[in-house]
Amino acid sequence: MNYSSKYFYFFAIIATVLAYLDVAYTYPRDNFIALFGCYTVAFFSFIALYKNESITEKRLFYLGILFRMLFLFGIPFWSQDFYRFIWDGNLVCQGFNPYLNTPDQIINSTSIPNAQELYNKMGVLSAAHYSNYPPINQLLFGISSYLSPNSIFCNALILKLIILVSDIGIYHFGRKILLHLHQNPKKIFLYFLNPLVIIELTANLHFEGVMLFLFTLGMYYFFKEKIVVAALFIALSIATKLLTLLLLPFLFHQLGLKKSSYFYSVVLSIVLLTFLPLYSAELVSNYSKTIGLWFTNFEFNASLYYIVREIGFYVKGYNIIQTVGKYTPFVTLLVFLYFAVFKKNKPAIHLFSNALFALSIYFFISTTVHPWYIINVVFLSLFTRFKFPISWSYLVILSYFAYSNTPFKENYILLLIEYGLVFTILFYELIPPRKIISNG
């Protein structure tokens, strides 16, 4: 296919704009056929634009900004999470600790703006549980609510702008890291133009983008050997989304025992300091209970776990998620320690490859894998030779089929297609390239 054709280039841009406008302002997530069609158009247009060698990187960057701006003025309706963001932000602005009460407990006593609408739209699961968003997230929620205390639309717009700016930061510093690693800087557009990134972050207001921006800054300064600055930004990344905590061990081989002890001490100290303003006797208990729910209560778009669950049904006669969930954190810890400590993490390209595989295995064994989680492995893959996360960023959209059913119900054939293709591509990429044998 001639990706360099001028007409193909304009067609890809127009098709992407129309698809994104439909996603942003027309189709809710329960209209799976329309959603999947628009996403497919956007994804293959993204591939065409990326492969078009006649397009300058500067123009690709501006296209990435344009595509994000298309979503600025729509209320997210693929996700309910942002209603909880605004709820927590309003609590912070009024001086209340968002970790101490569930929305169910205080809905009849709180005076925060738009309380009833936020409560009704955040969903029963969110309303029944304590907040699981770390302090930097809470700070950003609070800033948004302070700037726009009474308007849900303006509140969402501010949060979208924060995420958009974060993505620009990922582009800028991610590109610098690619150059530092002597890799093609154009690979940053596998993230920056990826429809999953654009839709799930700028459109649906998930804060993986902010977390990854702070992590990217931390890694940039880490490679510049500015260890304290790197520790600061990585700590702030953890205090935005705890997932970054899993990546800390991969820096051990780069630093050595003495430096890594110092580095980890600084990181963990800063993380603890971010929690200090919100500390209370109940915080640890409430927060750990909420985090534990992701291992022992929730199920969505899982792969290997669903196989284990079916075996459990056959052997035990009931759902063994409570049992599996108790062991999953320990298995995860062992996986990450194996890839971080016992695998070679020098030079840096090995660091990213091992982190990519450890995080992928974590998602493969998890009980819950929301589409925006895949953005993390898409990012890590930029600095490796592996492309299976890019394919996964397309296939994961099949999981949204579950929302087209009332009541909510997953389609296991679609999940088999999703993970079957992801595993196939992964195993293919693991096959060592054949050596060319010369006959002299």
Residues 146-178 have pLDDT tens digits of 999 999 999 999 999 999 999 999 999 999 999
DSSP state of 368: B
pLDDT (0 to 100) of residue 2? 55
Give percent of the chain with pLDDT exceeding 90.
78
pLDDT (0 to 100) of residue 440? 37
C-beta separation of 31 from 79 below 8 A: no
From 21, 3, 8, select the one nearest 67 (Cα to Cα).
Answer: 21
Residues 394-407 have pLDDT tens digits of 999 999 999 998 88
- Local confidence band at 434 (pLDDT 50, 70, 90 cut-offs): low
Residues 117-149 have pLDDT tens digits of 999 999 998 999 999 999 999 999 999 999 999
Question: Residue 5 above 70 pLDDT?
Answer: no
User: Cis (ω within 30 of 0) for the bond into 347?
Assistant: yes
Full 3-state SS string of 91-135: HHHCCCCCCCCCHHHHCCCCCCCCHHHHHHHHCHHHHHCCCCCCH
Q: What is the mean pLDDT of residues 22-47?
A: 93
The string of DSSP codes covering 163-180 is: HHHHHHHHHHHHHHHHHH
Instruction: State the virtual CA torsion across 316, 317, 321, 325 in degrees, nearest 10.
Output: 0
Q: What is the mean pLDDT of residues 68-87?
A: 93
Q: Tokens 């030779």 — which residue?
A: 385
pLDDT (0 to 100) of residue 273? 96
Instruction: State the virtual CA torsion across 160, 43, 21, 413 in degrees, nearest 10.
Output: -100
pTM confidence score:
0.94
